[in-house]
């Protein structure tokens, strides 16, 4: 079975949406075309839950694994608190979110669901690493040591 990845979001207010919407769209773009063979669900979904002025979810990092009763998907929440957002700019936030995506592997390994027996965890890690790297690259910014990049004022 081929498993696709998906990303959705729940923003706790307009402030949360303004802060994380660029990250959400970049995650959606980075996940396009990424898939995995040998995972027992057709879809692995990540739900970005961002604390805001109206609602707070109280989760920092990965958590809340949910299995669809019909076996169509497994989802993992990626929580972003206001404190997480206050720690830095876009590059730091993207590193935090990417780290949470990667930590979902150990979270899934700890689940007592018989369908997860026999998962190729190395292949899952490689697929999620490619997804995370593609996402982080958007927010990393230019490399000042790269001579092929335009310099300001030239």
Euclidean distance between CA atoms 67 and 65, whole angstroms: 7
Considering the domain boundaries, does residue 134 fall inside one? yes
Rounded CA Rg of the chain: 17
**Residue 151 located in a structural domain:** no
Q: State the residue range of the domain holding 88.
A: 2-140
Strand bridging mode 2-11 / 73-80 = unpaired
- What is the C-alpha end-to-end distance of the chain, expressed in Å? 52
Tell me if 104 is assigned to some domain: yes
Residues 53 and 13 sit within 8 Å (Cβ to Cβ): yes
Residue 130 lies in a domain: yes
Phi, psi of 22 (to 5 degrees): -60, -35
The number of folded domains in the chain is 1
Please count the other Cβ atoms lying within 10 Å of the Cβ belonging to residue 139. 18
Please report the pLDDT score of residue 88 as a whole number: 86
The answer to whether residue 154 is domain-embedded is no
Residue 148 maps to a domain: no
pLDDT tens digit string along 38-91? Answer: 899 999 999 999 999 999 999 999 999 999 999 999 999 999 999 999 988 899
pLDDT digits (tens, 9 = 90+) for 83-130: 999 988 899 999 999 999 999 999 999 999 899 998 999 999 999 999
20 domain residue, yes or no:
yes
What is the C-alpha separation between 136 and 120, in angstroms, rounded? 24
The residue to which tokens 């310099």 are assigned? 151
Q: Regarding beta strands 35-37 and 2-11, do their DSSP bridges make them parallel or antiparallel, or are they unpaired?
A: antiparallel
């Amino acid at each position: 079975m081929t498993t696709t990845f998906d990303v959705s979001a729940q923003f706790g207010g307009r402030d949360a949406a303004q802060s994380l919407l660029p990250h959400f769209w970049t995650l959606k773009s980075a996940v396009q075309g990424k898939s995995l063979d040998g995972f027992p669900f057709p879809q692995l979904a990540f739900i970005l839950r961002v604390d805001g002025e109206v609602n707070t979810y109280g989760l920092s990092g990965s958590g809340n694994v949910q299995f669809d009763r019909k076996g169509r998907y497994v989802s993992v929440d990626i929580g972003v608190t206001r404190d997480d957002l206050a720690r830095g700019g876009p590059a730091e936030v993207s590193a935090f979110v990417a780290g949470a995506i990667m930590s979902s592997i150990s979270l899934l390994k700890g689940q007592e669901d018989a369908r997860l027996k026999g998962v190729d965890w190395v292949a899952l890690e490689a697929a999620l690493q490619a997804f995370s790297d593609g996402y982080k690259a958007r927010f990393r910014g230019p490399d000042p040591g790269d001579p092929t990049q335009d310099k300001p004022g030239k």
